[in-house]
Amino acid sequence: MFSLDWIYYAISWILLTWHSAWDAIGVPVDAVIGTNWAWILAIVFLVVTVRVILFPVFVKQIKSQRAMQALQPKVKELQEKHKGDRETLQKEMMELYRKEKANPLMGCLPMFLQIPVFLGLFHVLRRLDPAKVNKTLYGWTVEQFDSASSAKLFTAPIAGKFGSTADELARLGANGTTVKVIAGILVLVMMGTTYLTSRQMILKTGWAEDPQQKMVQRLMLYGIPLSLLVSGAIFPIGVIIYWVTNNLFTLGQQQWVLRKYPPPPTPGRTGVKSTSPVQPAKTAGLFGRKAAPAPVKQAPATPKVAGPKPGAKPVNPKKSGPAKRQG
């Protein structure tokens, strides 16, 4: 059976290294405002470490999405050509992607690569139970294990979760109401930031014409945030902190990358009529607010020509040339 121990060791090493670094800098070991900041910062910088490592993959994801967007007119042609023949359509589309070296699954790759990190942290934090006998597993010392077991965020232990049993809460020395309130707020923030990360990307790139791609977009936008409402109840508070931090990092990183690698211009943006099926990206902001319309330049007013004064002799333009000499 495939063992995930190497992931648990790696996550533990990064977490403990950052905790030791904050401890050495002078971050208080004891709780301040009911929070053990050295452990919270260790989780936050675990996110930073992972995202820095995955940054090249993230850039490849953006480039792949641009390539997929550029292929949308050809995809639309294939859909019209093979309407009603789904098998041939899929075969032709796969051939198109292969020929153009575009990968429709590349958009999900960074998320898939982060799943082992998430699972590793989930497993490590779930073990933070003072009743555990083997506290030195995955490179931990007994002192580090006990310190992490008692670490809290606003008096709620980072190993606690919304669905913690009364026995688990008693072993952690936690108040059930406090844990539920903190965990519940974090789950809502986790859902909201997960939705915003997907929305930000779709607003910039537009909806895909490829049914498979559009289905993935809808899953990312609505399905995953809604699933967190249920699954969030089993996540330790420390794992939710990781998820929220990861989402905030993603929002900032996507904003930077989308500025550096903007979506390709579409004919619809230049005012030229086009039958291109590619949907232009929306110009609304992250929260759906529309940008103010650009001011319309008015043509300069035509100067008014003053009419003749009352009683003045009419001027004949034909006689405006040089006067003829009389014989």
Residue ranges covered by each domain of the chain: 4-260
The letter for the amino acid at 25 is I
Is there a contact between 168 and 160 (Cβ–Cβ < 8 Å)?
A: yes
pLDDT at 210: 67
> From CA 74, how far away is CA 100, in angstroms rounded?
11
Q: Is the pLDDT of residue 31 over 60?
A: yes
- Say how many residues make up the chain: 327
For residue 180, the 8-state DSSP code is: H
Q: What is the pLDDT of residues 193-210, one digit of tens each?
A: 999 988 887 877 677 666
Percentage of residues in the chain with pLDDT exceeding 70?
76
Exposed, middle or buried, 244 (CB in 10 Å: 0-12/13-18/19+)?
Answer: buried
How many Cα neighbours within 13 Å face the side chain of 90?
A: 5
Q: Residues 311, 107: contact at Cβ < 8 Å?
A: no
Question: Quick check: 327 pLDDT over 80?
Answer: no
pLDDT for 297 equals: 53
Distance of CA 113 to the CA centre of its chain: 15
Classify residue 116 by burial, with Cβ atoms within 10 Å: 0-12, 13-18, 19+.
middle
Return the pLDDT at 96: 83
Average pLDDT (103-118) is 78
Higher confidence at residue 49 or residue 215? 49
130 has a pLDDT exceeding 70: yes
Q: Give the mean model confidence (pLDDT) for residues 42-48.
A: 96
Q: How many other CB atoms sit within 10 Å of the CB of residue 76?
A: 16
- Residue 195 CA to residue 222 CA, distance in Å, equals 7
pLDDT of res. 81: 82
pLDDT at site 286: 52
Q: pLDDT of 214-250, one tens digit each?
A: 887 888 889 889 999 988 899 999 999 999 999 999 8
